[in-house]
Amino acid sequence: MNNQKQSNLHIALCANDRFAPGLQIAALSLLKTVDGSVTPHFHILDAGLSRDHRDTFVSKISELKTDAQVRFLTPPEDRFRTVKIRRYHLASYLRLALPEILYEIDEVMYLDADTIVLEDITAIFRQFRVGNNPLAACPDWETTRPSQDSLEIATECKVVGVTTYFNAGVMVLNLDALRENDFTNRSLDLLSRLGQYASFADQSALNALLANQWTAVDQSWNTPSWAFDGKARAVPPRIVHFTNRAPWITRTWTPSQALFEKVATELGVQLPKPERGQGHFALSSFFNWVFALPRAGLHFGRMILAGFGNRKDRAFASRHVAGYWLRFFCAGPFRIFLYQREIQKIKEKDFFLPKNSSI
């Protein structure tokens, strides 16, 4: 990393009003841990932020780091007019246009607005240089290949045999390389034709079009909240990513929820009243545990049928899901004890060092 890049750190996030609390926590937690010698530049893709939420965000950023820069960008929604959107909000696709929107920048880190940064992210740039690859990212914790995401899209892009797959919630993007690759046009064209098969929105296009063209970063830089809850980690998480729920919308009795609320308090972020409380979580958790064994059996059956049909990718995916539900059922009696112990540890812990201290 040259001196200019080292002194100016560009970060892109995307949010609407519903994700405003997450946006604040992702950005503020980054500021609390980042090297004090760099100047952060936040580029916010505005998917529907009110003036109040914009003003609050700018105020909190300025309070924490006076030289931090913030700009809000209006995404070109007309570019996504023909994209076939599958169950996701349009905001989930906007980062595909970053090479066009940030036309004057050559490198940017993208963060989802449901992440908590616990360690200086400049380490990603120092240790895992993107080089000539279009991006650096963490291997996904669940999906392991493009064909597991979407066999139709993997077949179209001729990547059925690829056995690597990344999560797009935390990425370092080489925007120059993506522009040379004409990535935005290619990805939007792909999703306009086959978007209904994209299991994970723009992440499906990213993995299909950039298969084997990305630099792998240690998974601790993108640890899903469920893995944090189950302590499924060899290295302490550096970024926690709430991949299956927004903790300010649905409140759960989990270590990751306790972490989010503790960090929000330390950062001075006021959380809204959750749409779903812990009572709803307790009831749904009980039914999930009750039906876990039948679900495991169902997916084992699908695995066997896929094996008879010589559908190796489908068999692999079904075996993976069946194993998850079987482990979920067996671990049920111990989960309450584990969660209680971890939640207590989190309540007693300080997550951030003093501002601009050495990490």
At residue 337, the pLDDT reads 79
205: nearest Cα among 181, 224, 189? 189
Edge-to-edge strands, sheet with 214-216:
69-73, 39-46, 8-15, 107-111, 166-174, 135-139, 214-216
Confidence of residue 6 (pLDDT cuts 50, 70, 90): low
Other beta carbons less than 10 A from residue 230's beta carbon:
19
Please report the beta strands in the chain, taking only residues with DSSP state E, as ranges in sequence order: 8-15, 39-46, 69-73, 107-111, 115-117, 135-139, 166-174, 214-216, 223-224, 239-241
pTM assigned to the model: 0.84
Confidence of residue 324 (pLDDT cuts 50, 70, 90): confident
Specify whether the CB–CB gap between 284 and 258 falls below 8 A: no
Residue 149 has pLDDT above 50, yes or no: yes
Residue 356 has pLDDT above 80, yes or no: no
Q: Residues 6 or more apart from 94 whose CB is under 8 A from it?
A: 14, 45, 47, 75, 80
Residue 209 has pLDDT above 90, yes or no: yes
Opening angle at CA 97, ends 94 and 100, nearest 5:
150
**How far is CA 44 from each of CA 77, 108, 335, rounded to the nearest angstrom?**
15, 12, 38
> Distance (Å, rounded) from C-alpha 226 to C-alpha 244?
8
Mean pLDDT of the 236-264 span: 92
> Distance (Å, rounded) from C-alpha 63 to C-alpha 23?
16
pLDDT, averaged across the chain: 87
At residue 3, the pLDDT reads 47
At residue 339, the pLDDT reads 84
Mean pLDDT of the 253-265 span: 93
Mean pLDDT of the 2-20 span: 82
Mean pLDDT of the 42-54 span: 95
> Structure tokens of 350?
């300080």
Edge-to-edge strands, sheet with 223-224:
115-117, 239-241, 223-224
13: nearest Cα among 70, 62, 60, 64? 70
5: nearest Cα among 118, 217, 137, 174? 174
Q: What is the distance of C-alpha 303 from the center of its chain? A: 28
Q: What is the pLDDT of residues 155-194, one digit of tens each?
A: 999 999 999 999 999 999 999 999 999 999 999 999 999 9
> Distance (Å, rounded) from C-alpha 298 to C-alpha 301?
5
Specify whether the CB–CB gap between 254 and 176 falls below 8 A: no
Other beta carbons less than 10 A from residue 312's beta carbon:
12
Residue 322 has pLDDT above 50, yes or no: yes
Please, which residues bridge with residue 299 across strands?
A: none
Q: What is the pLDDT of residues 212-230, one digit of tens each?
A: 999 999 999 999 998 898 7
Least confident of 60-74, 144-158, 324-338: 324-338
Least confident of 100-114, 148-162, 242-256, 267-281: 267-281
Confidence of residue 1 (pLDDT cuts 50, 70, 90): very low
Residue 36 has pLDDT above 90, yes or no: no
167: nearest Cα among 243, 259, 97? 243
Q: What is the pLDDT of residues 120-145, one digit of tens each?
A: 998 887 665 555 789 999 999 989 99
- Sketch out the chain's domains with CATH numbers: 3-222 (3.90.550.10)
